[in-house]
Structure 1
Amino acid sequence: MPAEQQVKKITVLAGKGGNGGSALAAARHLHNSGADISLVLSAPAQELTIASARQLDILQRIGLTADVTDSVTDSDIIIDGLIGYSLQGDVRGRSLALIESANSSDALMISCDIPSGLDPDTGTVKGTAIESDATVTVALPYHGLFTAKAREYTGRIFVADVSVPQSVWRQMHISVQDLFSLSSVVEVL
């Protein structure tokens, strides 16, 4: 990070599933770039999936600690990785409290894959949802991101290349050959 840029305070909200693992991996990259990272888990570490626990372990080995709490402290940026496609029913418990706390913040909000609280298929809000400024999804975005209901929660939508082989895309009858030719992250209109 260039010296003239101010170090950003970034809070990473991580759930126990795959979205949490993605958010924790992003935290590592941001930390390595010089960002000031705070980690907030929606569940105790022992409840994380294997992949998410592995990401947390890496972060702890480089000196970061995670809190299990119901609120978000002052931040410039909040990365939402609380709940993804595994959402069933309305958001509740600590995730609900964290979403409400994050939404009351003035921080820039970025969601991993889908704003927590949105149904990935229909785009409907399941009780409450993160009000993102941007959503970064990998490979293919969820259909629900593009529904009229979801637009006020998704912010700008970006798709990131994760090196899915062209043969897989061909099997799915999807042409993405030119999609990532100029950048590994593209905005979807």
Structure 2
Amino acid sequence: MQIERLELPDILLVTPTKHGDQRGFFSETYRADLFAKFDVDAVFVQDNHVHSAQRGVLRGLHFQLPPHAQGKLVRCSKGAILDVAVDIRGGSATFGRHVAVELSADNWRQLWVPPGFAHGYVTLQDDCEVIYKVTDYYAPECDRGIAWDDSSLAIDWRLAAADLILSDKDRKQPRLDAAAPPFSV
């Protein structure tokens, strides 16, 4: 398993090794000891599996407030997505900056998104499946988001806005500057 820090150093790109033969493959997709070497001591309590039927489904940018803030380990097991994490920690040197990484069934990469970051993705192909582990349970009272199209974030979602499919909830999320930063460093 290869783990590397991205431009936002708290975000990790994880590439599990696949061991294959004529029967198929085997892959360790998470190892606590390897994550600990990057100062991640996550305890995962819930796995989520999402299917999106069409290219252009955009989900996000989501996060949960403390005391139920979530870290996420995200992978795409079918198709391809553009996965995005935005630093929403007040006082952070990288506040408002983001990383965007393509995750796919072909490249087998994963993204570690710790608490303090908003997360979202867009499907780049039809028939995508995303699986992610989280460090706290879903808590509707703590569920929040920021606008996917906030111009201050300058996220290139790789698709025209007219081609995106969003939930009503995601269409109505506030801009990042509309509220006090929900996290601090």
Give me the TM-score of the superposition, normalised by structure 1: 0.28
The answer to which structure, 1 or 2, has the higher relative contact order (CA under 8 A, 6+ apart) is 2
Give me the TM-score of the superposition, normalised by structure 2: 0.28
Higher strand share: 2
Higher helix share: 1
